[in-house]
Amino acid sequence: SQTIHQWPATLVQPVGSPLSLECTVEGTSNPNLYWYRQAAGRGLQLLFYSVGIGQISSEVPQNLSASRPQDRQFILSSKKLLLSDSGFYLCAWSVVLGGFSEAFFGQGTRLTVV
């Protein structure tokens, strides 16, 4: 069965520090991978998605970047965090089969920039 691992679960970082959140998927090949950010009690904002190794699409201009060094690994990074980067970050994967796609999520990372 497929599983997705996302870490860390919580993170407190000072303003100006770097960030690296990692996500790995097991049990599937060539998944679509996503990074989302979610404000408290609200919907999901797509930050980045990737359809293959080294292929990254950015949805929202921001202080963040993403990389996909391996087929099932997706990394969210920042060189210098801002206070506004605080939030709940979710990694997800999906496989599109004839227009049918379901997203499966990691447990999320609660990032607080202080």
**Which residues pair with residue 97 across a beta bridge?**
100
Is there binding between residue 96 and other proteins (CB under 8 A)? yes
Distinct helix (H) and strand (E) counts, the chain: 0, 11
Q: Name the minimum Å distance from CB 105 to other proteins.
A: 3
For other proteins, which residue of 1, 14, 29, 41 counts as binding (CB under 8 A)?
Answer: 41
Query: Identity (one letter) of the amino acid at 94?
Result: S
For other proteins, which residue of 14, 61, 69, 99 counts as binding (CB under 8 A)?
Answer: 99
Is there binding between residue 26 and other proteins (CB under 8 A)? no
Query: Identity (one letter) of the amino acid at 61?
Result: P
51 — alpha (psi -120 to 50), left (phi > 0) or beta? Answer: alpha
Q: Name the minimum Å distance from CB 110 to other proteins.
A: 7
Q: Name the minimum Å distance from CB 46 to other proteins.
A: 7
Is there binding between residue 103 and other proteins (CB under 8 A)? yes
Residue 56, CB half-sphere, CA atoms under 13 Å: how many? 18
